[in-house]
Structure 1
Amino acid sequence: MLSLFLIALISYFLGSIPGALWSSKALHGVDIRNYGSKNAGATNAFRVVGWQAGVLATIVDMGKGYLAAGVVASVIRIDPLPALNIFGWDTGVVVGLMAGLVAILGHMFPIFARFEGGKGVNSAAGILIALTPWTMLYTMAVFVLVLFTSRYVSLASITAAVAFPTIVAIRKYGFGVDLDPSLLVVGILIATAIVVAHQSNIRRLLRGNENRVSSFSPAQGMLGRGEI
């Protein structure tokens, strides 16, 4: 139990690193929580201060999830958990998922940023890349397709979140790929959390006033356009 607590604690603090907020402040001296959607995530960093901070925030946020699920959870030794045998789940995968979920919690409620964080999409992607890279490759293809056809980042994020457990189920039960069942269960939980976190975006999508990507050229942001 002590090892699990230590993994969770490290993962939370790792997830609490506010990549978008710190990169925007370091590169441009701007607190993005005061502009755009007021969300401390990579998408708002792109929107407010431009592509440099947005790219850096994306790398940091994905890296947090990857490190929590793929490194922290494997470096700290955990004995097999007998309770998981009931479901046929692998201890290593489950602990990786647990660490990743705690990192997402840290991202959404970061102790280093007044508990005002992002929505966890990039961190979730990092977790799942660490645990099932091929499934995530297909999921990211869904994200890119929806983004380029709709120009809504929020819609692409929500669609990709729902696509992940769907693709896990298709690969495992339709094509017989050896994927741990816990990936499906936690994939559904992550998808649900991301959809809930995007409630305001969903309302704007339904009203037709959600922010849309106007161009896929390197974003200059509100700062670059002289709006800040």
Structure 2
Amino acid sequence: MFRLLCILIGYFIGCFQTAYILGKTVRKIDIRQFGSGNAGTTNVIRVMGWKSGIITFAGDLLKGILAVLICKMIFPENLSAGLYAGCAAVAGHNWPVFLKFKGGKGIATTIGILLAFDFKIGIICAAIMAIVILITRFVSLGSILMAISIPVLFSIFWRSNYELMILALLLMGSALFRHRTNIERLLSGKESKLGQRSNKKLEEKQ
């Protein structure tokens, strides 16, 4: 039962869509109809600028942290409780029930989850992502490599806990699934780099 409750708590926390709310509040737009169509930090930066992007990242990071900490407090005796809530928060962010299941890609939320669950893993993952982005300016590549590092790091720090390993694989799988089109564009050399602005509606780009 604790797993189900953690999943429900995490999912509804994840459904809080920072990018969508910011778009409606600041620019009176649905961010999902502009740029890449993604309700996440990178698309907010491209459409609304860096200030809005930083706020979006902070909001999405915070909900990952909250999901983990709340369930760790409710179920302190269950080590996996926070990570179940975290995985569910990513699902809520990616597929929010209140927005017809069209959300973001869950990367900032994933970083928040990792920081709250195991600070060492969170810092390493954030550093991997930041270094790759600084070198290549491809946010998607940084996100993909960060995601791949999650189960690797869990196998180092939590190798004796198979349940946590499975949840780490779920976090990686979710990120890779949401970045499948980015992977295709990276391989074809068509992926956009960080800093490229876009105010075009999706239908105008097609």
TM range (shorter): 0.7 to 0.9
In structure 2, the partner of 1:187 is: 168
In the alignment, does 2:40 pair up with 1:41?
Answer: yes
Structure 1 residue 103: Cα displacement: 1.0
Contact 1:62-1:122 at 8 Å conserved across structures: yes
Aligned pairs for 1:162-201 (under 5 A) are 162-171=148-157, 180-201=161-182
How many residues get paired?
A: 200
What are structure 1's unaligned runs of at least 5 residues?
Answer: 79-90, 174-178, 216-220, 224-228
In structure 1, the partner of 2:73 is: 75
Structure 1 residue 4: Cα displacement: 4.1
The whole-number CA distance in structure 2 between the counterparts of 1:10 and 1:185 is 20
**Residue from 65, 69, 94 that aligns with 1:108:** 94
Pair member with larger Rg: 1
**Deviations, residues 113-166 of structure 1 (Å, cap 9, x unaligned):** 221100111111111111110111111111111111111000000001111222
Q: Secondary structure at the match of 1:67?
A: helix
Structure 1 residue 77: Cα displacement: 4.0
Name the TM-score, length of structure 2 as normaliser.
Answer: 0.88
Aligned pairs for 1:16-31 (under 5 A) are 16-31=15-30
When residues 189 and 10 of structure 1 are mapped into structure 2, their CA distance, relative to the original with a 3 A threshold, is closer
- Give the ranges of 4+ consecutive aligned residues of structure 1 lying more than 4 Å apart after TM superposition: none
> Which one-letter code corresponds to 1:68 in the other structure?
A
**Deviations, residues 7-32 of structure 1 (Å, cap 9, x unaligned):** 32222111101111111221222211
Q: Secondary structure at the match of 1:93?
A: coil
- Please provide the CA RMSD for this pair: 2.2
Q: Secondary structure at the match of 1:213?
A: coil
Aligned pairs for 1:1-228 (under 5 A) are 1=1, 3-71=2-70, 73-77=71-75, 92-171=78-157, 180-214=161-195, 221-222=197-198
Contact 1:168-1:183 at 8 Å conserved across structures: yes
Contact 1:21-1:40 at 8 Å conserved across structures: yes
